[in-house]
Amino acid sequence: MADNKFVYIFGNNDTEGKNSMKDLLGGKGANLAEMSNLGIPVPVGFTITTEVCTLYLKNGQYPLGLEEHIDNAIKQLESTTKKNFGDLKNPLLLSVRSGARVSMPGMMDTVLNLGLNDDSVVGLATKTGNERFAYDSYRRFLTMFANVVLDIDHDKFESALSSKKKDKCVKQDNDLEVEDLKELVEKFKTIIKDETGKEFPQNAREQLQMAIDAVFSSWNNQRAKTYRKLNGIPREWGTAVNVQSMVYGNMGETSGTGVAFTRDPATGEKRFFGEYLINAQGEDVVAGIRTPQPIKTLKNTMPKVYDQLVDIYMKLEDHFKEMQDIEFTIEKGKLFMLQTRTGKRTAAAAIKIATEMVEEGLIDKDTALLRVEPEQIDRLLHPNIDPTSTYEVMATGLPASPGAAVGEVVFTAEHAEEMAKNGEKTILVRAETSPEDIGGMNAAEGILTVRGGMTSHAAVVARGMGKPCVAGCGEITIDIKEKIFNVGDYTIKEGDMISIDGSTGNVILGEVELILPGVTDELETILKWADEVRTLKVRTNADTPHDAEVARDFGAEGIGLCRTEHMFFGEDRIPAVREMIMAEDIESRKIALKKLLPMQREDFIGIFKAMEGFPVTIRLLDPPLHEFLPVHEEVMEKLRELESSDASQEEMERVKKIGERIEYLKEINPMLGHRGCRLGITYPEIYEMQAQAIIEAACELSKDGMKIVPEIMIPLVSHVKELEFVKKHVTTVVESVMEEMGIKLDYLLGTMIELPRAVLTADQIAKEAEFFSFGTNDLTQTTFGFSRDDAGKFLPFYLESGILEDDPFAVLDQDGVGQLVKIGIEKGRSTRPDIKIGICGEHGGEPKSIKFGHNVGLNYVSCSPFRVPIARLAAAHAVLENKQ
């Protein structure tokens, strides 16, 4: 331990700490010392260091000499304040507060007026000539001490206070008279005796020791532990204790207490923002007992104090170069600062403050970028629930696609589409969604599913559309026949209003108020600065020209994944797609594919145009085929109907065949079945048609002078020979189309790396592939052996019990899947050093995963359009954090 110094004084000429000593003094202690160094009035006090906490919790006892250090510090406080601790005539009273390096809700917070007892309260009354004040302070002290030190329920004191107010027919605490307060003090002491079996401790030094013990012990209470775990705060940090001489905001009409921010924490506007209460102590403002007044009215009531406060807040902001959240007390017209810390703020405020502080010359651009969290941007791009509204949460699922939505419950995609035609807003509630639901998902305001994880169909598609989605809400049971869903004690009917919050996973009863923050100039500025810093490119996952345009507007530098299977579900193509699947021989399959060819060509023309000048990675078909056919039960139902009607034999045969084909194609485990390049190998003509459509589209546009950069991507490759096989077919088509059209176009042919075998043989695969794109959704699925679609049943438990810290389908598992990514990159570059490598799984839009991607040397990430701005900022953070 550093020269056995356990205690640091602040608030007088002997101040020993400073702002840079946060690790030792905690945030509160370090900043109190710093204010004192700046000449700002701070009540004198001392900080017991975090090292003491760590030793106390480790050894079960305090380090030798601590008691003496505390006694010496108290002497200093006594000499500065000219009051004596434990004195009966002129008592020094103290506040005791915890203070970790970062503010930590859940720990013991504050005890005020410590040092009072049955005798000193009389002394305080005589000395101040204010008996009411003395007993008001004593009853407050008893309540706080009992609650935070002795762990007695606060309600016991609150209800005694309320019944006293009721007896006296008064509303406010302030309206109680001295005699009432005296009675309350007696009552409170009795509660303490009843609850603890011991008298309330009258000795001031004993009170102080008990409060210090309570602060240190609270570092390890359950609430604090949970908070630390959630926020990645190490247990070893410990907390400091701040002991400070009391100043009184409850000494009459020229006293008061308040909290303020140096800028508006909601909007970021540069104005002094805050509130205060006259004749009150700190906890009254927070507890909302009386309605505080806006800070600007202080200008009229106490102009001098107001001016001084303004000077101080400006000085603090200038000094810390950051928006401050301050606490102050006025004692008989004299101002004291009790705390200053970095103020919490909304996303909009964070961006405004960061950009304006650069303009004001307070901070540089890099600092500004680091002051905005990438995830905060998400809040600015979607409607959100008005934070001032109250609502009833019925259940919570996965926060699968951010933003909030309100609408009437519908249970089918068709219903959502019908309602949308009439201008009605809906929430589509499904057990899970399938590609057939796309139209309805697009028509609904939001999507709620019972099953499926963060990479389920619903989640992926909703994110792509920028639609709010709560997925995998297993508490819900849908009764599709009755057109209801049940959750807990609620039964929700079709047509009932509900709201969902895709940022939190909440499913809410009824309609909530939404707010839509727009993309501001300040956000544009931050993103522009981010672009100047980052080296990682950001592309988008988009399958329609519209999504591509949205993403381009958000700054996407190309498409990293165009899932062509999403194009096969358009109403106009389903008949041809079904014909292709039903085909019994290659000839009839080719006839069906011929019908699809012009439609695909148009699709690609649209997408290439929207991304002109940027690379567009088009992935060849990758779903299980049966997904394109109707549901088996529906077909069987149809067959029964036909049988009982006078339908022709031919028609019945046709429907029967569809049923048989569905049965044939059905797989036990479709996620590991006949999908990806396995389809392109068994039916090469499908990939040939797609390659033809891609290259015809690209050649046609480049004939018109456009710069088109196509990249053809083969999915689910595990063996280099699979790639060789498909590549041969694809390149033959590509070459012949180019020759026919008389154009030589640069294009790339590459592969997804989404299976462990592909990673482990990436050196061989790179010989055939000109680029790699890590499909981290499938790579996570196959590395963990967790089904993407079924993990929702157990993953929540894994997260709750701490087996996993994050959902690996949302945040890349760096230790496991991340290792595979690293190996894949190394092996790939060992045979093709300049191979272009990206990520196009959902992790491509998640900040921690993006930073990982930067650090392992990816060239780009690709994410859904609405996450492009987040990815741009996260990529810049990756560079800046490495510099630090």
Number of residues that bind ligand PEP (CB under 6 A): 10
- By CB under 6 A, which span of 190-198, 206-214, 771-779, 810-818 interacts with ligand PEP? 771-779
**Both structure tokens of 732:** 């033959």
Burial class, 731, CB count within 10 angstroms (exposed 0-12 / middle 13-18 / buried 19+): middle
Residue 716 beta carbon to ligand PEP: minimum distance, rounded to whole angstroms: 8
Among 603, 722, 778, 807, binds ligand PEP (CB under 6 A): 778
Residue 515 beta carbon to ligand PEP: minimum distance, rounded to whole angstroms: 32
136 vs 778 by CB, closer to Mg ion: 778
Choose among Mg ion, ligand PEP, none what residue 473 binds, the Cβ cut-off being 5 to 8 Å by kind.
none
Q: Does 343 bind ligand PEP (CB under 6 A)?
A: no
Residue-wise DSSP of 519-541: PPHHHHHHHHHHHHH--SEEEEE
The catalytic position among 469, 473, 699, 840 is: 840
Residue 710 beta carbon to Mg ion: minimum distance, rounded to whole angstroms: 20
626 vs 872 by CB, closer to Mg ion: 626
**Both structure tokens of 148:** 């935070």
**Spatial contact of 614 and 557, defined as CB atoms under 8 Å apart:** yes
Q: Does 759 bind ligand PEP (CB under 6 A)?
A: no
Residue 840 beta carbon to ligand PEP: minimum distance, rounded to whole angstroms: 5
454 vs 693 by CB, closer to ligand PEP: 454
Q: Does 775 bind ligand PEP (CB under 6 A)?
A: yes
Cα dihedral value 311, 312, 315, 321, nearest 10: -130
Cα–chain-centroid distance for residue 561? 25
Q: What is the rounded distance in angstroms from the CA atom of residue 108 to the CA atom of residue 545? A: 55
**Both structure tokens of 342:** 């970095």
**Spatial contact of 402 and 503, defined as CB atoms under 8 Å apart:** yes
Residue whose C-alpha is closest to residue 404's, from 339, 492, 500: 500
- By CB under 6 A, which span of 23-31, 500-508, 772-780, 852-860 interacts with ligand PEP? 772-780
671 vs 706 by CB, closer to ligand PEP: 671
Q: Does 28 bind ligand PEP (CB under 6 A)?
A: no
Cα dihedral value 558, 563, 564, 568, nearest 10: -130
Residue 364 vs residues 178, 228, 756, 869: alpha-carbon distances, Å: 56, 31, 44, 21
The catalytic position among 69, 382, 415, 457 is: 457
Choose among ligand PEP, Mg ion, none what residue 561 binds, the Cβ cut-off being 5 to 8 Å by kind.
ligand PEP
Residue 788 beta carbon to ligand PEP: minimum distance, rounded to whole angstroms: 8
**Spatial contact of 601 and 645, defined as CB atoms under 8 Å apart:** no
Residue 815 beta carbon to ligand PEP: minimum distance, rounded to whole angstroms: 18
- By CB under 6 A, which span of 3-11, 89-97, 118-126, 769-777 interacts with ligand PEP? 769-777
26 vs 775 by CB, closer to Mg ion: 775
Return the CA Rg of the chain: 34
Q: Does 807 bind ligand PEP (CB under 6 A)?
A: no
Residue whose C-alpha is closest to residue 452's, from 479, 470, 477: 470
754 vs 807 by CB, closer to ligand PEP: 754
**Spatial contact of 23 and 101, defined as CB atoms under 8 Å apart:** yes
593 vs 625 by CB, closer to Mg ion: 625
Is 840 designated active site? yes
Q: What is the rounded distance in angstroms from the CA atom of residue 72 to the CA atom of residue 86? A: 15
Choose among Mg ion, ligand PEP, none what residue 685 binds, the Cβ cut-off being 5 to 8 Å by kind.
none
- Residues within the annotated binding site? 754, 778
Contacts with ligand PEP, 611-630, as mask; x by CB under 6 A:
-----------x--------
**Spatial contact of 274 and 286, defined as CB atoms under 8 Å apart:** no
- Name the E strands within 696-774: 709-714, 748-753, 771-774
Q: What is the rounded distance in angstroms from the CA atom of residue 290 to the CA atom of residue 284? A: 7
Contacts with ligand PEP, 240-279, as mask; x by CB under 6 A:
----------------------------------------
Q: Does 841 bind ligand PEP (CB under 6 A)?
A: yes
**Both structure tokens of 184:** 């309350």
CA count, 13 A, side-chain hemisphere, 93: 19
Residue 560 beta carbon to ligand PEP: minimum distance, rounded to whole angstroms: 9
Going by the DSSP 8-state scheme, the letter that residue 184 receives in this structure is H
- Phi and psi at 240, nearest 5°, equal -95, 170
Among 777, 783, 814, 859, binds ligand PEP (CB under 6 A): 777
Choose among ligand PEP, Mg ion, none what residue 840 binds, the Cβ cut-off being 5 to 8 Å by kind.
ligand PEP
Residues with Cβ within 8 Å of residue 141, at least 6 apart in sequence: 111, 112, 113, 114, 116
- Residues within the annotated binding site for Mg(2+)? 754, 778
Q: Does 776 bind ligand PEP (CB under 6 A)?
A: yes
Q: Does 840 bind ligand PEP (CB under 6 A)?
A: yes
Residue whose C-alpha is closest to residue 141's, from 122, 113, 163: 113
522 vs 778 by CB, closer to ligand PEP: 778
Q: Which residues bind Mg ion (CB under 5 A)?
A: 754, 775, 778
Choose among Mg ion, ligand PEP, none what residue 180 binds, the Cβ cut-off being 5 to 8 Å by kind.
none
Residue-wise DSSP of 670-697: GGGSS-THHHHHH-HHHHHHHHHHHHHH
Q: What is the rounded distance in angstroms from the CA atom of residue 160 to the CA atom of residue 158? A: 5
**Spatial contact of 832 and 824, defined as CB atoms under 8 Å apart:** no
Q: Does 678 bind ligand PEP (CB under 6 A)?
A: no
Residue 773 beta carbon to Mg ion: minimum distance, rounded to whole angstroms: 10
225 vs 674 by CB, closer to Mg ion: 674
Is the dihedral angle over the CA atoms 439, 444, 447, 451 positive or is it negative? negative
- Phi and psi at 500, nearest 5°, equal -130, 150
416 vs 758 by CB, closer to ligand PEP: 758
> Mapping DSSP to helix (H, G, I), strand (E, B) and coil, where does residue 406 land?
strand
Residue 426 beta carbon to ligand PEP: minimum distance, rounded to whole angstroms: 26
Is the dihedral angle over the CA atoms 432, 434, 439, 441 positive or is it negative? positive
Residue 869 vs residues 1, 38, 538, 744, 862: alpha-carbon distances, Å: 46, 40, 9, 35, 12
Residues composing the chain? 884
Among 378, 417, 754, 768, binds ligand PEP (CB under 6 A): 754
Contacts with ligand PEP, 536-565, as mask; x by CB under 6 A:
-------------------------x-x--
116 vs 812 by CB, closer to ligand PEP: 812
Is 877 designated active site? no
656 C-beta neighbours (distance < 10 Å), count: 16
- By CB under 6 A, which span of 112-120, 291-299, 581-589, 776-784 interacts with ligand PEP? 776-784
Cα–chain-centroid distance for residue 842? 15
Residue 244 beta carbon to ligand PEP: minimum distance, rounded to whole angstroms: 55
- By CB under 6 A, which span of 527-535, 677-685, 758-766, 774-782 interacts with ligand PEP? 774-782
Choose among ligand PEP, Mg ion, none what residue 265 binds, the Cβ cut-off being 5 to 8 Å by kind.
none
Residues that bind ligand PEP (CB under 6 A): 561, 563, 622, 754, 775-778, 840-841
Active site residues: 457, 840
